[in-house]
Structures are given as C-alpha cells and as structure tokens.
Amino acid sequence: MVMGASGSKLEKALGDQFPEGERYFGLENFGNTCYCNSVLQALYFCIPFREQLLEYYANNKKQGDLEENLLTCLADLFTQISSQKKKTGVIAPKRFVQRVKKENELFRGYMHQDAHEFLIFLLNELVDILERESKAAEGSLDPPTPSEMLNNGQVRPQANGVHKEALVTWVHKSFQGILTNETRCLRCETVTAREETFFDLSLDIEQNSSITSCLKNFSSTETLNAEDKFFCDKCCSLQEAQKRMKIKKPPSILVIHLKRFKYMEQLGRYKKLSYRVVFPMELKLNNTVDATDMEYSLFAVVVHVGIGPNHGHYISLVKSHDHWLFFDDENAEMIDESTVQTFFGSAQEFTSNTDHGYILFYESISARR
C-alpha cells in the first residue's frame, strides 16, 4: 500500500519546521484518477472533516467490522495516511478508487472525469451512508430517502421558510450552508422565500474578475418577465417578478466551484474558459441575509490543467500549518504562497498557461479560532 521515498525532498525543505504529527503523502494514479486524488488531498487538509473521519473510523473499529462502503473506505484511507511512521511518501488509494467505481458507473471508464462532479457525488454519498446508519441505530424500518443535493443545494426546498427537520451529520456541519431564494411579485409586492441547502456555490465567471465580483453577480437581482414570468400565488397568475439569491447561513467550510466549462451552442460542445479570476487568501462574504461579513481563509485549491473539458489533469494546492504544498498525484512539493497567484487564470484568450483554479476551499476564520 505504501511505496517509495517520494517526498524526502519535501522533508528536507521543511526541516525543523515539519509540523508535529502531520503527514504529507502523494497518491498513486490508477490511469485517470487525478480528479479523485486532487479532491482527496483538499479534503484531507480540511481539518474538521479529517478529524471527524478519523474519529468515525476509531469508533467503528471498536465495534467490529462494518460493511464496506465509500465512507469506511475513505475513513480507512485517511487513517492509513495519518498513522504512517514516515512523514512523507506515496500511498495507493486502491480500495477507495475501486469502491468509487463500484458505486458510480460514471467513474468506471478511462475517460477524463470532472473533479467537481466527483466531490459532490462523494459528499452526498457520505451523507446518505451516515443517514442510513442513524436510521438503523434508531431501529427505523423506513427506507432511507436518497439525498438529492445538486450544485447550489436543492435538498427538500421549503416554501416561505417552513423547515422540515432533517438529520444534521458531521458532513453537513462542515460543508452545508443555507441559501434564501427570494422572489418578489412586481404587481402585488408579495415576497416568496424558499430555502435551499448547499454544499458548494457554483459561480459563473467573467474575464479579469474576482471571487468577490462573481459572488456579487450570484446574488444580483434578476427580473423574470416575458417567457420567464413567475406564478404568484396571491395574484393566482403569471406575473413579472424580481428574484435574488442570498446566503442565509454561511457554511464552516465554503466550497466555491468556478464554472470553467461552458456549453457553446455554435460549437455544439463544451469549451474551457481560461479567464483570470482572482481568488484572495482572505475572503469576506458579504452577500448574506443579515448583512454581516463572514471571513474566510483559503486552504485548498483544486486546479484543472489543460485546454479543454475532455482531457487534461488535476492537481491540488493545500495550506498546512502556514505552509503551501503542491500535490500532483504521487508528487508532493513545498511552494511559496505567491505561486498560488499563478493559478488565477489567463488575461488573454490564447495563452500557454493552462493551469487554472477550479474548486476553492475556504475555512471560516471564526470556526478555526
């Protein structure tokens, strides 16, 4: 399972500054599994999530073997990394990758896969398993309802803020936020509010923009008219309306997905947008319902390398104990914080730089304290 002395360079680079008890391990690539490896590294350095997984593994080990599923395979992998005698090296996440392929046919072939699709699939799958285990522990015979969370939420939306109590797992506690979708009828002024939960925010991007401007656009007011009119319950008819999305409850870990792959009608296919989108080390989230600024700190970036959506490579940048590290499958290196800026994107359409930030992981500064 553990191979090679890869990473000894990293050990030398850190020297006396090597964090106590920390492990930096590359992950073997099984043909096309860089999408998986890059996301796993980002999640491993999401400390609250890692700690919960290790605790889950330790508790279940005491109770004897559980049936193998994606959660037990991930917990086993993270436990293996964290308990290595060596500080650096390479691990082959074979059991976990096999389980992913068994659970979802999307990831079975040798085609280039999407790291964002994989992340959302994985988080939803972990939630489903924890919900099933909770129901089993309560002795409930009801069949579990599969989570239907998509990008930007949509799990059991409730009109006008009526909320059905759902199980809040430790995955939710780390990643889940709540959006309020407000629609105001322009005839009677009635506001219909619908809440949606989310694990990530998928943002449209523009050339030479920033995460702050993308978030502003995400929460900007949209007018629904012509063919897009809104059915107002009070007017009992289709009416012009204004709609906007705001963040009601920001998550502890904010995951931002930049929509770099856009379907081009005239081409009949998806195209990669290499736009330069600046993502700051410290982010103030100010499009919240109560208008309080939430502060976040960047700790991981999944980077897409390549010119198109159907081929390319994924790497990850992670911040650990105030050091930035670069993970490219088996390889792990130390980088300067300034290097992170080289992954913002390209200011020109045609460029040799094809390494672009794709998924950003921010942790709440208040949650960290």
Catalytic positions are 34, 313
Instruction: Give Cα separations from 367 to 78, 201, 344 (angstroms).
Output: 22, 19, 26
Element (H, E) at 121: helix 115-137
Distance of CA 160 to the CA centre of its chain: 28
Task: Catalogue the long-range contacts made by 206-210 (C-beta closer than 8 Å, 24 or more residues apart).
Answer: 206/275, 206/277, 207/275, 207/276, 207/347, 208/275, 208/276, 208/347, 209/275, 209/276, 209/277, 209/278, 210/277, 210/278, 210/279, 210/280
Among 314, 305, 2, 364, CA closest to 176: 364
Instruction: Give Cα separations from 231 to 185, 194, 237, 293 (angstroms).
Output: 9, 14, 5, 33
Distance in angstroms (rounded) separating the CA atoms of residues 343 and 358: 9
Element (H, E) at 177: strand 177-185
